[in-house]
Amino acid sequence: MYLFNTLKRCKEEFVPIDENNVRMYVCGPTVYDRAHLGNAKTPVVFDVLYRVLCNKYGKNHVTYVSNITDVDDKILNKHKETGKSIREITEQTYQWYVDDMAKLNVLAPNYRPRATEYINEMIELVELLLKERHAYEAQGHVLFDVDSMPNYGFLSGRSMKEMIAGARIEVADYKKNPADFVLWKPSDADQPGWNSPWGYGRPGWHLECSAMSSKLLGNSFDIHGGGSDLIFPHHENECAQSLCAHPGEKFANYWVHGGMLMVDGVKMSKSLGNFYTIDQVLEKAPAEALRLLFLTTHYHQPFNFTFEGLEAAKQTLDKFYNALLRVKDMACDSSSADERIVNALEDDINTPLALSYIHELVNTLNKAESDVDKAKAKTTLLKSAELLGILWQNPEEWFKGSVGDEAQEIEKLIAQRAEAKKNKDYALADKIRNDLKEKGIILEDSPQGTTWKKI
């Protein structure tokens, strides 16, 4: 298995520290508002990686952690804007997020830790850094001393000189070096906070992931993931904290970063009016279409979202489910996933290549004649699709949705049309078909009779 490792800036063979417990940590969202498309892409990509790891090492030999940041100034701002309590905001947003993930068929990670439940671990980590002289106190803050770490910047590949040249680092008079970042900061009495050796305050963002990953996965683990925008400063600072607090440990061996999501070729932003939340997009297309769409581009590339692409993904799924609909009553045999698909996914999660083989498997299924061949083709397709997290739905439900009384009415019209066809009254038969088409119901004749679908 191979992964593109940001540390080495190249693809390298993945060798876990412990094959019996492969450990992965992926940065999750800050819960202050509905998750947007970018917040959806990253978990979908790492969900595929999780599935591939489970397939290779066994489900019980993989530990996957994805955190929830529930203490942050953005949440504080939301509280000021809306007047809603912090707790109300984070609980509601968390629930929305979990629901969105479920719709996208993202498997639940083994742990979904919340920052506020690991404050003690964070305080311990700060104490360790102070003791090792990698941090210092100033005006109620505790700051990480970047000058205490000679190779600070090794992950993102930038030198201290460059960072200062950037000159957009927040300058504060209490910082020894402008690049020093906050580990702990003071809170006002009306702000969320916890008592600490440095007074009432709250943790800096970077600290959370270092503390939670250490607690749940250990001081050295295999994969750390996230969007490429997190490389600097977030992941760089996590490295600084964790490596300085635990000398001799490796923190994460493989850093895996997904390309940014864009909309119509440019960065998604509220000011450009091309900002979409997951639930907004799911009003226009099934969640599975969005999931498939994310997988049509290699995760490492920037991903360009368009509604045309979303519609195309939906049509692709129609094609796939059409094939499955024909063999809906066929039992699966003992076939396993297509080896080419496993190989493609184990080669740095090459989902576009894997999908091209899915198309081939669908074609094979459509052409299969004997029951034995059909069962084999169906099983291979479903087992392969499971690695990608697609085709999990019942094909009839995919096309018909949750229809109630409507179905009986349609069946009645189909019977009428069959009668008309028998009498060679094609005008009436075509009228029934066209009337239904206007209501979004498509009829398909076959030697076995007529079936219908919703479009």
Partner RNA sequence: GGCCGGUUGGCAGAGUGGCUCAUGCAGAGGACUGCAAAUCCUUGUACAUCGGUUCAAUUCCGGUACCGGCCUCCA
- Positions in 190-229 near RNA (CB under 7 A): 205, 226-229
* Binding region for RNA (CB under 7 A) out of 99-107, 128-136, 216-224, 265-273: 265-273
Please give the C-alpha separations between residue 368 and each of 362, 375, 393, in angstroms, as whole numbers: 10, 9, 22
The stretch among 113-121, 247-255, 294-302, 372-380 that binds RNA (CB under 7 A) is 294-302
Residue 289 and residue 280: Cα distance in Å, rounded? 14
Q: Which of 52, 281, 362, 390 binds RNA (CB under 7 A)?
A: 362
Q: What is the 3-state secondary structure (H, E, C) of 139-159?
A: CCEEEECHHHCCCCCCCCCCC
Q: Pick the stretch among 16-24, 102-110, 130-138, 166-174 that binds RNA (CB under 7 A).
A: 166-174
Instruction: Return the number of the residue (132 or 430) whose C-beta is nearest RNA.
Output: 430
The correct pick among 60, 83, 150, 168 for binding RNA (CB under 7 A) is 168
74, burial (CB in 10 Å: exposed 0-12, middle 13-18, buried 19+): middle
CB of 61 or CB of 420, closer to RNA: 420
Q: Does 360 bind RNA (CB under 7 A)?
A: yes
Taking CB under 7 A as the criterion, which residues in 107-126 touch RNA? none
Size of the residue set binding RNA (CB under 7 A):
74
Applying CB under 7 A, does 165 fall inside the site for RNA?
Answer: yes
Pairing mode of beta strands 261-263, 266-267: antiparallel
User: Per rule CB under 7 A, is residue 443 in the interface with RNA?
Assistant: yes
Cβ at position 193, least distance to RNA in Å = 19
User: In angstroms, rounded to a whole number, what is the distance separating the alpha carbons of residues 68 and 444?
Assistant: 47
What's the min distance (Å) between Cβ of 135 and RNA? 17
Q: Which is nearer to RNA, 336 or 356 (CB)?
A: 356
- Kindly tell me which residue out of 262, 341, 375, 387 binds RNA, with binding defined by CB under 7 A: 262
Q: How many CB atoms lie within 10 A of CB 372?
A: 10
Which residues within the stretch 273-292 sit at the binding site for RNA (CB under 7 A)? none
- Select the span of 191-199, 346-354, 375-383, 403-411 touching RNA (CB under 7 A): 346-354
DSSP category for residue 35? -
Exactly one of 183, 429, 436, 441 binds RNA (CB under 7 A); that residue is: 429
How many CA atoms does the CB half-sphere of 166 hold within 13 Å? 14
- Single residue of 5, 24, 41, 376 touching RNA by CB under 7 A: 41
* Nearest distance, CB of residue 157 and RNA, angstroms: 5
Residue 310 CB neighbours (<10 A): 17
366 binds RNA, rule: CB under 7 A? yes
**Crossing angle (nearest 10°) for helices 37-57 and 371-388:** 120
Q: What is the DSSP string of 350-412?
A: -HHHHHHHHHHHHHHHHH--SHHHHHHHHHHHHHHHHHHT---S-HHHHHH-S-SHHHHHHHH
Q: CA-CA distance, 191 to 26, in Å (whole number)? A: 28
**Spatial contact of 290 and 104, defined as CB atoms under 8 Å apart:** yes
Q: Which is nearer to RNA, 342 or 443 (CB)?
A: 443
Q: Is the peptide bond before 29 cis (omega within 30 degrees of 0)?
A: no
394 binds RNA (CB under 7 A): no
Distance CA 17, CA 414 (A): 61
Q: Which range, of 109-117, 266-274, 282-290, 384-392, touches RNA by CB under 7 A?
A: 266-274
Q: Which CB, 131 or 359, lies closer to RNA?
A: 359
State in Å, rounded, how far the first CA of the chain is from the last one: 40
What is d(CA 23, CA 57) in angstroms, rounded to the nearest whole number? 11
SS3 263: strand
- Give me the sign of the Cα torsion angle 371, 372, 374, 378: positive
Closer by beta carbon to RNA, 18 or else 99? 99
Does position 421 interact with RNA (CB under 7 A)? The reply is: yes
Q: What angle do CA 66, 69, 72 make, to 5 degrees?
A: 160
Which residues 306-335 are close enough to bind RNA by CB under 7 A?
Answer: 309, 312, 315-316, 319, 322-323
Inter-helix orientation angle 339-346/351-367, to 10° = 170
Among 16, 192, 203, 233, binds RNA (CB under 7 A): 233
Give the range of 144-152, 276-284, 353-361, 392-400 binding RNA by CB under 7 A.
353-361
- 163 interacts with RNA by CB under 7 A: yes
Q: Does 157 bind RNA (CB under 7 A)?
A: yes
Of 335 and 451, nearer to RNA (C-beta) is 451
User: Does residue 38 bind RNA (CB under 7 A)?
Assistant: yes
Query: Binding residue for RNA (CB under 7 A) from 58, 197, 199, 265?
Result: 265
Tell me how far, at minimum, the Cβ of 241 lies from RNA, in Å: 14
Of 303, 398, 399, 452, the one binding RNA (CB under 7 A) is 303
374: nearest Cα among 339, 336, 323: 323
For position 42 contacting RNA by CB under 7 A, the verdict is: yes
- Is 74 a binding residue for RNA by CB under 7 A? The answer is yes
Q: Is the alpha carbon torsion for 342, 27, 260, 257 positive or negative?
A: negative
